[in-house]
Structure 1
């Protein structure tokens, strides 16, 4: 019977598929993964998966309306057991956060944290405060067109690829701020964006892609700075005006990147934002805009703190996360740690060099160092694993060791504030010994003397030979910075600072020889040399009878340093500005020692004096090791004796003895300091015994050059050793209207520069 009824029943018509009436208010990622979304921006699920850049909503107004209704009807429900990274944030809490209060860190003592407690206690508070006008401006008005006008300035894909090759080979290895694999993924995502998507405006893009053009602009600007003289002629088509140089184009690109960051604001900051800010800082230093670079670095550090790079965030994994997503998140976390490490290193180094405060407070702690892991071919199938001894070093390896040797700079910075009158020399001695211990543990492939060269031929280690003098420079700079405040009051500090300065100059000379003209814009080639030359010159000007065994080496490196600046001055604005100051100091140094025009011969040309690249560094016998500069170490000769060098300048140390020794059989060119008489026309510069050196401000050459408008009249019309310095008076005698070796600038009479101008032998 049932069979008969079923047979007789007419077939029911097919029902039309029911349309979904509920608006999708979850983010696109949670909707795709069928996960419950807390509808925050970004949501806790995307934060846990490190997919903040992909977290966006198709219907933003519906999301806000839904959140508002939920807040008015019930207490907010948390996102479940796995939403511990970021608590569920209501619409009213989001509005309060818009005033600038932090949304991370779990601190409930802030205004936002207290407000959330009130909101959870009384849901009516949410309804009342939700009526407040939103502090977030309407970015859609004009934002889309401004954004499009900026990204139109990007060159075509073929030129981008050519310039990125230069960037990653010549620039990125210096501090390793970008992971090329991650960067290339973002670049491909950018290439894949359709015009219709871009036409909707930047707020419709994932967070990282919004800011990616700013990072790309900065990469292109730095690549243009490092173009060789024999560059690819096809790049000339990027110039849009007659007489335009790559420097002009680089400035345009860098400014466009800044404009994008400014246009998008600070509310959706990502790691891409921080990387773009750091590359902008690098660009500014390369063009000699040091003051602007310092401000740019400070702003970038604030952006990094905004996204929590300064904290070791506890990331919980989603139970349904795919293994490849988890592995990729681990590599991104390593990149976050690396970026914070770079910012910390730059912050303390610029503070020491410029005499400015730091932006980072070390009392806040720091996240763990990144793992020194080899770069994988596919980061989605391999977790970060520490490299072993057989793995070649990477730029990250160099960064980690540079951080180790520069870590005492924080203690040095604090010591300068704790001991403004330079009385705690016992602590200085202890710190010097500890710094030497760090240097002794340097990996063999980074050593300046007798290095392990087994990785030099590795194609990924093309930068390694340049890293050795860079590392030696960093270690010597730390010693020099430690003793610099004490050179006016302590003879042991003068010796240590002098030898550390000579180590810096040796390292700089070797590094310069390993580079080509395309690297002349590197700010480190000027900054480190300038500080070291001024320091060693000041020591000999004020105390010419001390450290006489190192004077020959000092004068030779002074000459070499000025010649390097001459070569770089056409492409490096900072070198051009510093060159005039060095020439004036050179005149003052020779005047202090009263070196006559006829008492010396010109040293050989710089190009013939340099060692060949295969030698890497001068012979060990010519090296003044950092440990030998210890306050407890005795004098040790450091005369340069490389096979290609014949130092022909008269041995000035023979001519500065307190009392002459009668031995008429020797000439001023003799190397015997104990038996050489002092000719009648050679005199020494003596400082009044009553002069109070403890009242002199610590020497900070680059700070004075940048902030105090330190300048001289010696930028033109001067050749090394071309004047009879003994006949130039303090008012610029011998027909000169003014003394070109006088220092001009806004400095006090208690500074080194003021003392040099006011005291004349």
Structure 2
């Protein structure tokens, strides 16, 4: 065991290389993931030994560092198209966090003999723990809703107060935790609080059974849709999507990207909310189409804002894949009655294909999705007589509100084909001849509550019939 321990220690990068990797993560990635806080990370840096060393030493008692190790590992697995493993590791992180009581609001009381600085440090550390729990809650909720999997967290068990919408200071012992003042720089945590608020709606939607088709009362779907639009409309001016305050954009360069992150988070949920009802309720079909378009618009902007060296980030492909394939399948079954809308959808899908073409060498999901999108395109081309004549859909004015609000612009899920799980393959795609694809069957299977488009795309990519497309 000691030989293995020494071997693993020897494999850790040099201090200089490790420091460079840390700086890259915090400058280029943490704005998106918000899984670590620089101040507390630096305090623990000297004790970092890697996942395998933690395993060798053993985890007899859960600690916050172990929770962070697992959530960072889940992030890496997800970004490597190993979604099922990521989901399992995330479950372990949640259980450790619950064992630590991160889901319950702690009481921080200043003792008579304690200096103020010590109390302030404790208050900010409590803030730090609540932020970690918020990220766990958000990941668990979104994965459960979009993949049809059980939730590991029950909202009624959680008593934490939402974190402040401001960054943790460089020296917490000298700063009183308060809301931002108007003259202060904007918070980088706003998108993550927004995602947390969206995920609270996810919990309510799942409790009401809205993730299943053929619900008895449709009105809760409309209610939750309106709440998401309200959340978008009440964002701080710097992060709002319509007519934002851009005065900080030049000095805080991640803000424009975070706007697209917010739009993606909102509309990926709205697509998931409306997808199961899009056959029986035209309003849901319209809303899902509008939100899918908003996702593609946001992803196009985000792709343009991020340097090409980050094109292998999974989130830049997975949302594009989900939205573009949904649009392709939906419009095959329900061709738009409005030529302008049909043209807009075609243009959005074409741009999505261009982005996936750019990333396919480094993201296997993109390559498989491209083949499916081309197959759907050939199917559409083989039936030109359907264009503009079959009963279709038109995006209503109320749906345009959400679309306009989200024209600025993430999801932690996924199951790869290598995970050795049974993946449902739509029978409509069992024959790879475009003329033989059954539009109605394909649409029906795509809107099943437990249908995982990401896993399906990965599995389809392994089938020889798609290699011709």
TM-score range, shorter chain: 0.7 to 0.9
Distance 1:302 1:698, change over 3 A: closer
Using the TM superposition, give the Cα deviation of residue 464 of structure 1 relative to its aligned residue in structure 2, in angstroms.
0.7
Task: Please state how far the C-alpha of 1:522 moved relative to its aligned partner.
Answer: 1.7
Partner of 1:499: 290
Contact 2:232–2:240 (Cα < 8 Å) also in 1 = no
Contact 2:445–2:451 at 8 Å: present in 1 too? no
1:697 to 448, 452, 463: 448
- C-alpha deviation, 1:588, in angstroms: 2.9
> Any idea what SS the aligned residue of 2:11 has?
coil
Return the structure number with greater helix share: 2
Q: Which residue does 2:399 correspond to in 1?
A: 628
Offset of 1:312 from its aligned partner? 1.1
CA change 1:174–1:695 in 2 (3 A) is closer
> Which of 78, 89, 110 is residue 296 of structure 1 equivalent to?
89
Q: Distance in 2 between matches of 1:687 and 1:307?
A: 50
SS at match of 1:499: helix
For 1:152, the equivalent position in structure 2 comes to: 10
Q: Which deviations, in whole Å up to 9, do the C-alpha atoms of 1:196-216 show, x marking residues without a partner?
A: xxxxxxxxxxxxx3xx323xx
Counterpart Cα distance in 2 of 1:710 and 1:323: 59
What is the RMSD of the two structures over their aligned residues, measured on CA atoms? 3.3
1:581 corresponds in structure 2 to 372
- CA deviations over 1:661-680 (Å, ceiling 9, x no partner): xxxxxxxxxxxxxxxxxxxx
Which residue of structure 1 lines up, in the alignment, with residue 53 of structure 2? 260
TM alignment of 1:202-241, pairs within 5 A:
209=47, 212-214=48-50
- Conserved in 1, the CA contact under 8 Å of 2:333 and 2:443? no
Residues 704 and 710 in structure 1, CA contact (< 8 A), matched pair in contact too:
no
Aligned match for 2:314, one of 523, 532, 541: 523
Which residue of 1 is the match for residue 416 of structure 2? none
Rounded Cα–Cα distance in structure 1 between residues aligned with 2:375 and 2:160: 46
Q: Which residue of 1 aligns with 2:428?
A: none
8 Å Cα contact 2:120-2:176 kept in structure 1: yes
State the Cα distance separating 1:317 from its structure 2 match.
4.8
Which residue matches 1:201? Answer: none
The aligned counterpart of 1:553 is 344
Answer whether contact 2:329 2:443 (CA < 8 A) is retained: no
Change (3 A) 1:687 1:319: closer
Shift of 1:351: 1.5
CA-to-partner distance for each residue in 1:530-589, whole Å, 9 max, x for gaps?
111122122211122545542111111111111111111112233234333333333333
* Partner SS, residue 444 of structure 1: coil
| Distance in 1 (alpha carbons) for counterparts of 2:290 and 2:458 | 27
CA contact (8 A) 2:165 2:190 kept: yes
Map of 1:568-607 to 2, 5 A cutoff? 568-593=359-384
SS of equivalent residue, structure 1 residue 371:
coil
Distance (whole Å) between structure 1 residues aligned to residue 328 and residue 192 of structure 2: 31
Q: 1:419 to 1:557 in 2, by over 3 A?
A: closer
| SS across alignment from 1:402 | helix
Q: What does 1:375-390 align with in structure 2 at a 5 Å threshold? A: 375-390=168-183
1:510 aligned to 2:304?
no
SS at match of 1:430: helix
CA distance in 2, matches of 1:355, 1:311: 26
Relative distance call for 1:164 and 1:482 in structure 2 (3 A) is same
Contact 1:472/1:504 (8 A) holds in 2: yes
User: 1:163 and 2:21 equivalent?
Assistant: yes
TM-score (norm 2): 0.83
Structure 1 residue ranges without an equivalent (≥5): 1-141, 191-208, 215-256, 597-623, 641-682, 719-761
- Name the structure, 1 or 2, with higher relative contact order (CA <8 Å, separation 6+): 2
Contact kept in structure 2, 1:476 and 1:500, CA below 8 Å: yes
1:86-144 Cα offsets, whole Å, 9 max, x none, are xxxxxxxxxxxxxxxxxxxxxxxxxxxxxxxxxxxxxxxxxxxxxxxxxxxxxxxx4x5
Q: Matched residues in 2 for 1:400 and 1:427: separation?
A: 23
How many Å separate the matches in 1 of 2:246 and 2:74? 33
Q: CA deviation at 1:323?
A: 3.4
Corresponding residue for residue 172 of structure 1: 30
Partner of 1:429: 222
CA distance in 2, matches of 1:695, 1:342: 28
After superposing the two structures, state which structure 1 stretch, 447-456 or 709-718, moved more.
Answer: 709-718
- Aligned to 1:169, the other structure's residue is in SS state helix
Query: Do the aligned partners of 1:578 and 1:705 also contact (CA within 8 Å) in 2?
Result: no
- CA separation in 2, counterparts of 1:406 and 1:501? 18
Which structure has the bigger radius of gyration? Answer: 1
- TM-score, L = length of structure 1: 0.52
Secondary structure of the corresponding residue to residue 331 of structure 2 = helix
Matched pairs, number: 432
Instruction: Supply the distance in 2 between the matched residues of 1:146 and 1:390 (Cα, whole angstroms).
Output: 54
Provide the C-alpha distance between the structure 1 equivalents of 2:37 and 2:442, rounded to a whole number of angstroms: 55
Q: Give per-residue Cα distances to partners, 1:257-306, cap 9 Å, x unaligned.
A: 2x233223332221111111111111111111111111111111111112
- 1:415 is aligned to 208
Do the aligned partners of 1:497 and 1:629 also contact (CA within 8 Å) in 2?
no
Match of 1:276 in 2: 69
**Alignment partners' CA distance in 1, 2:364 and 2:212:** 35
Query: Residues 336 and 294 of structure 1: is their aligned pair in 2 closer, same or farther, counting only changes over 3 Å?
Result: same
Matches within 5 A, 1:272-671: 272-416=65-209, 420-458=213-251, 461-544=252-335, 546=337, 548-593=339-384, 627-629=398-400
Counterpart in 2 of 1:181?
A: 39
